[in-house]
Amino acid sequence: MPLYGAVVVGPPGAGKSTFCAGLCRYLSLAERPCALVNLDPACEGEGLTKFAIDVRDFVSVDAVMKDQKLGPNGALRYCLEQLWKSNWLKDQITSLEEDDCFPYVVFDCPGQTELYVHDHSLRGILDDVRREFDARFTAAHLVDVAQCAVPTSYVAACLLSLTAMLRLELPHINILTKMDMANRYDLAMPLEFFREAQELHRIAPFCGVQPCSLDEDNVEEEPSAYARQLQKLSGKICELVDDFSLVCYEPLDVSDGESVAKVVRLLDKCNGHPCGVHAPQSLIEDATELFLLHRGGTDGPSISVDGDNRGAAGRDREPRRAPRTVRTHNIGAPPPDVGQRGPGSFSWYAS
């Protein structure tokens, strides 16, 4: 049987490691052997789930910074190039094989998007593994739902998602993470718009606009020259993303078994994993049920979302009228506690 797996990429803090841990947890509850591979040499700590393969055993960013006199980003690029040139990862993956079968491999990648946007190293590493093991991977590009609150950030995220699709050239899904936080944000359009990423140019007039400019009193103000330029640029980027018609997002609340199950099914569908095609529905339901039972439980690392703040922001909301007044490009910045532990925020904890 070939090697199947998921390659989890996305900008820093998008929730990659948390998703990888949730994915591995779900797969093990579904009785599907899986192995988590840490491809981030700068990752700190032990991770939320034990790594089966950890690139830090091969190369250390600190040592590279010292020896090569490089900064953190340069050292990271150097580390991945070294990994690409060596057979270490392939040897490690070979050692995962049991009874002619490989576990499902989940790659937790670094948040430095230049590693696949500009560099060839990440792509090269994955290509080598694919060739060696006849591997079938799905790339999952994660974007924090907080980006939807800032139209310019959302446009940039769409461009990055498209770039990841074109550069990695893998079966691909884009995921909007931290959906439990979605209703905290004041969104310019209904959430559905951000998920579908269709007719993206409709968001361009909101780029560079503050929510207060939506007040009736301000409607007549003219946009500044800077804001007009920003809207024009955003409009062009939107057109480009629209032209490819490839980007859309699957929402994910990693503490919710059904949400994780849906993403697992998509991953399986994309890389053709037999479980995606043949798994009995009862097995999927059992794993989902167990996942829900384990949320906040004591059996190993679990997920807990405190507070009653779930739900999709703006799901039933009508699209807003595009504002005519332009004040600043810094609209609806995420609240300071996003991604931090605390009431209403997300946390993993071990028993």
Ligand X SMILES: Nc1nc2c(ncn2[C@@H]2O[C@H](COP(=O)(O)OP(=O)(O)OP(=O)(O)O)[C@@H](O)[C@H]2O)c(=O)[nH]1
Contact 249, 200 (CB under 8 A): no
Give the nearer residue to ligand X in terms of CB position, either 27 or 263.
Answer: 263
Shortest spacing between CB 14 and Mg ion, in angstroms = 9
Residues 17-46 that bind ligand X (CB under 6 A): 17-18
Give the nearer residue to ligand X in terms of CB position, either 154 or 346.
Answer: 346
> Torsions phi, psi of 87, nearest 5?
-100, 5
Structure tokens given for 107: 């790659």
Residue span binding Mg ion (CB under 5 A) among the ranges 10-18, 57-65, 172-180, 218-226: 10-18
Task: Report if residue 13 touches ligand X, rule: CB under 6 A.
Answer: yes
Shortest spacing between CB 75 and ligand X, in angstroms = 16
Cα–Cα distance measured from residue 208 to residue 330, given in angstroms and rounded to the nearest whole number:
7
Packing angle, helices 72-85 and 61-68, rounded to 10: 110
Task: Report if residue 105 touches ligand X, rule: CB under 6 A.
Answer: no
Give the nearer residue to ligand X in terms of CB position, either 211 or 339.
Answer: 339
Task: Report if residue 335 touches ligand X, rule: CB under 6 A.
Answer: no
Task: Report if residue 111 touches ligand X, rule: CB under 6 A.
Answer: yes
Cα–Cα distance measured from residue 154 to residue 149, given in angstroms and rounded to the nearest whole number:
8
Nearest to 5 by CA among 128, 119, 171, 160: 171
Shortest spacing between CB 6 and ligand X, in angstroms = 14
Q: Which of ligand X, Mg ion, none has residue 26 at its interface (CB below 5 to 8 Å by kind)? A: none
Side chain identity, residue 138: T
Give the nearer residue to ligand X in terms of CB position, either 183 or 210.
Answer: 183
Whose CB is nearest to Mg ion? 17
Nearest to 81 by CA among 102, 61, 105: 61
How many residues make contact with ligand X (CB under 6 A)?
18
Shortest spacing between CB 20 and ligand X, in angstroms = 8
Please identify which residue in 3, 8, 17, 42 interacts with Mg ion, judged by CB under 5 A.
Answer: 17
Give the nearer residue to ligand X in terms of CB position, either 97 or 337.
Answer: 337
Residue span binding ligand X (CB under 6 A) among the ranges 13-21, 29-37, 280-288, 314-322: 13-21
Give alpha helix (H) positions in the chain.
16-29, 61-68, 72-85, 88-94, 114-117, 121-133, 151-168, 191-196, 225-244, 257-271, 274-278, 281-294
Please identify which residue in 39, 254, 260, 261 interacts with ligand X, judged by CB under 6 A.
Answer: 254
Please identify which residue in 5, 6, 16, 170 interacts with ligand X, judged by CB under 6 A.
Answer: 16
Reduced to 3 states, what is the DSSP secondary structure of residue 98?
Answer: strand
Give the nearer residue to ligand X in terms of CB position, either 59 or 203.
Answer: 59
> Torsions phi, psi of 279, nearest 5?
-60, 130
Give the nearer residue to Mg ion in terms of CB position, either 16 or 294.
Answer: 16
Q: What are the DSSP calls for 212-258, one per residue?
A: GGGSGGGTTPPPPHHHHHHHHHHHHHHHHHHHHT---EEE--TT-HH
Q: Which of Mg ion, ligand X, none has residue 190 at its interface (CB below 5 to 8 Å by kind)? A: none
- 177 Ramachandran zone, left/alpha/beta (phi>0; psi -120 to 50): beta
**Site residues, ligand X (CB under 6 A):** 10, 12-18, 111, 177-178, 180-181, 253-254, 339, 345-346
